[in-house]
Amino acid sequence: MSQTFKDRCLVIHGGSGAIGGAVSRAFAREGARVFITGRNRARLDAAVQAIVAEGGRAEAAVVDALDEQAMVRHAGEVAERAGGIDIALNAIGILHVQGTPLSALSLEDFFVPVHAYTRSPFLTAKAVAPHMAKRGGGVILSVSTPASRLPGPGYLGHAVACAGVEALSRHMAGELAAFNIRTVCIRSHAIPEAAFGGSHSYEVFRPAAESMGITVEQMLADKPAGLLVKRLPSLDQMAAAALFAASEGAGAMTGAVLNLSGGVTLD
C-alpha cells in the first residue's frame, strides 16, 4: 500500500456499482478517506465492508444523485467531517433503452439517459467545487463511453449523453481552473466484469444483445469491432486510470478525456 492519497477525501456517486466500487477500493488502498453514495443501502453497506476488510476507510450514504439539494447537503456533510473534499467521481448508472432505432424510439426514452447522465455530473461539480476551492484545489472525474463517436443504430440517447458528459468536463476545466480544480473524463468501452451477474450494466446491454439474437456474454466475448488492442478494459484498468487522473503525475492534465476504448476511438 503506497498511501499516495493518504488522508485525501474522495466522494464517489455510484460507489456501490461495479466501476464505482473498484475505484473506491483502489483509492482506499492508497490511503484515501472514501465517501460513497448510491440508492441501495444493502449494496452500499457491502461496498463499505469490502473496503474496511482491506484495511481502508469508507462511509456510505443513501443519496439520489439527481436531487440537487441532496447532493449539496451530502457534500457539505462530507466536507465538515473530513475537513474538505479533494476528489470526486460520478459513476452512477441507470437503466435505459438500448438497441432501439430512431423509428421506434420515443422522445421520452431518448431523453432518459441524456437527462440523467448530464444532470448528475453537473450536480456533482456544483456540490463539490466550493469545498475543493476552499481546500485549494481538487479533481473532478466523470465517466463516458465511445458511443458518442460511433455510428448507430440503437444508441441515440446514450450517445448524446456521453457527448454531453465529455463536453461538460471540458468546459468546466476552464470555469474551475481559477480555483485549481482539474476535470478529467474517463471514456471506457464495455467492461465485461461489470456486465455479468445480473448487474445494472447487464440489464442495459441485454436488449441490444437480444436484438442480435445472442446473450450479453456472447456479445462481449466476441469483442466489438474496431478494438485495436484486441481486448476490452478491465475494472482494474478503470481504477488505475482514475488513480492516475487524480494524481500529481497528471497535474498538468485538465479538460482531457482518458481513452480506455481499446482503440475504437482515437481522439
Q: Please name each of the domains of the chain with its CATH number.
A: 9-189+234-254 (3.40.50.720)
Print the SS3 string covering the chain.
Answer: CCCCCCCCEEEEECCCCHHHHHHHHHHHHCCCEEEEEECCHHHHHHHHHHHHHCCCEEEEEECCCCCHHHHHHHHHHHHHHHCCCCEEEECCCCCCCCCCCHHHCCHHHHHHHHHHHHHHHHHHHHHHHHHHHHHCCEEEEEEECHHHHCCCCCCHHHHHHHHHHHHHHHHHHHHHHHHCEEEEEEEECCCHHHCCCCCHHHHHHHHHHHHCCCCHHHHHHCCCCCCCCCCCCCHHHHHHHHHHHHCHHHCCCCCEEEEECCCCCCC
Q: Using 50 as the pLDDT threshold, list the residues of the chain that sit under it.
A: none
The predicted pLDDT at position 3 comes to 76
The predicted pLDDT at position 267 comes to 81
pLDDT tens for residues 183-227? 999 999 888 887 665 556 666 666 666 766 777 676 666 667 678
pTM of the model: 0.92
The predicted pLDDT at position 129 comes to 98
